[in-house]
Amino acid sequence: MKIRNFNKILHVLLLIRLPNIVIVIASLLLFQTQILKNEETNLNIEFHLFSISIFFIMCSGYIINDLLDVEIDVINSKNNYIGKTISRKNAIFLYNLCNTVVISTSLILSYLTTVYYLFLIYIFGIFVLKQYSEKYKYQLSGNLIIAILTSVPLLILIKINHLNFQNLFAGIILKYSLLVFLINFIREIIKDMDDLKGDSTKKLNNIVVNLGINNTRKLCTILLLILSGFTIYLLKYNMGEKNVTNYLNLLVVIINITIILCIYLLNQMNFKKYLRNISILLKLIMFFGVLSILII
């Protein structure tokens, strides 16, 4: 019985992609720590509510994505699809529970921070995630939608701290949100290439199906080069009046070596077997990029 219950819990954690969520929450905590260090702001319960709301809206997004994507997950040989490891009924219950928590916490957060439209942003986020999973995931616009959504938490963090967008530190966070957008946009395209078998079977309309695999590889290479240039700009030339430290230089080197490795793997003849490795490398780039905020 204990093993069975453990397996159920494990399947739920796989469903909500817990490691991805933990990385996001930890990143937001790093940014909040730096805000408290650089600005006259004092958040406690507000940041906790913000973290809870982000946790559950991400859970909601992953669950609705799997609920509406079972058939393609089977074709692409993904292990954790609904109906095999988790019943559809339980998944729907978890989805509704997550949305209830999101709505409740966002209402309280809006009241405590007096940023009353935050509640509407969360409602819109739930709606967009559902629409994305239903209509846009395998469309040209789907990659842009999810990349934009992943950068929104940093913008909300600026607002709940009541920072003006002309504020120096707020400006730096805005640039980090652009970095998050760019990395996730590339990752979404890489995932589309990895899922091409299921996408083609369903005759869907994503960027890989439209451009073809070789042109998509060229696009990703160009985007990775843009990412390389942007990280150098952000980390070396855009840190206000602070001097560039040896640690910052080291991060720039590590990030750009990783980007070069991504480009190399992407342009191999047998590149398809490296697509998931490239996705992991992009997560590492995100990790080191976010880590650089500690040097500010």
Question: Poorest-confidence range of 102-116, 222-236, 238-252?
Answer: 238-252
Q: Are 131 and 140 in contact (CB under 8 A)?
A: no
Q: Are 119 and 129 in contact (CB under 8 A)?
A: no
Mean pLDDT, range 211-217, rounded to an integer? 91
Q: Which residue has the higher pLDDT, 167 or 142?
A: 142
Place of tokens 């976010």: 290
The phi and psi torsions of 58 (rounded to 5 degrees) equal -70, -40
Mean pLDDT, range 5-15, rounded to an integer? 77
Mean pLDDT, range 71-96, rounded to an integer? 72
Place of tokens 């993904």: 78
Question: What is the C-alpha to C-alpha distance for residues 3 and 107, in angstroms, rounded to an integer?
Answer: 38
Q: What band does 195 get if pLDDT is binned at 50, 70 and 90?
A: confident
Question: What is the C-alpha to C-alpha distance for residues 194 and 199, in angstroms, rounded to an integer?
Answer: 10
pLDDT at 72 over 80: no
pLDDT at 5: 65
Place of tokens 């793997």: 265
Tally of residues, the chain: 296
Q: Which residue has the higher pLDDT, 167 or 110?
A: 110
pLDDT at 77: 46
DSSP symbols for 77-138:
T-S--TTTSS-HHHHHHHHHHHHHHHHHHHHHHHHHHT-TTHHHHHHHHHHHHHHIIIIITT
Question: What is the C-alpha to C-alpha distance for residues 251 and 115, in angstroms, rounded to an integer?
Answer: 35
Mean pLDDT, range 143-162, rounded to an integer? 92
Share of residues in the chain with pLDDT > 70 (%): 85
- How much is the mean pLDDT over the chain? 85
Q: Are 49 and 180 in contact (CB under 8 A)?
A: no
pLDDT at 291 over 80: yes
Residue 263 half-sphere exposure toward CB, CA atoms < 13 A: 16
DSSP symbols for 155-176:
HHHHHHTT--TTSHHHHHHHHH
pLDDT at 70: 60
Q: What band does 71 get if pLDDT is binned at 50, 70 and 90?
A: low
DSSP state of 39: S
Global confidence as pTM:
0.87
pLDDT at 123: 96
HEC string of 60-90?
HHHHHHHHCCHHHHHHCCCCCCCCCCCCHHH
Q: Which residue has the higher pLDDT, 201 or 136?
A: 136
pLDDT at 68 over 60: yes
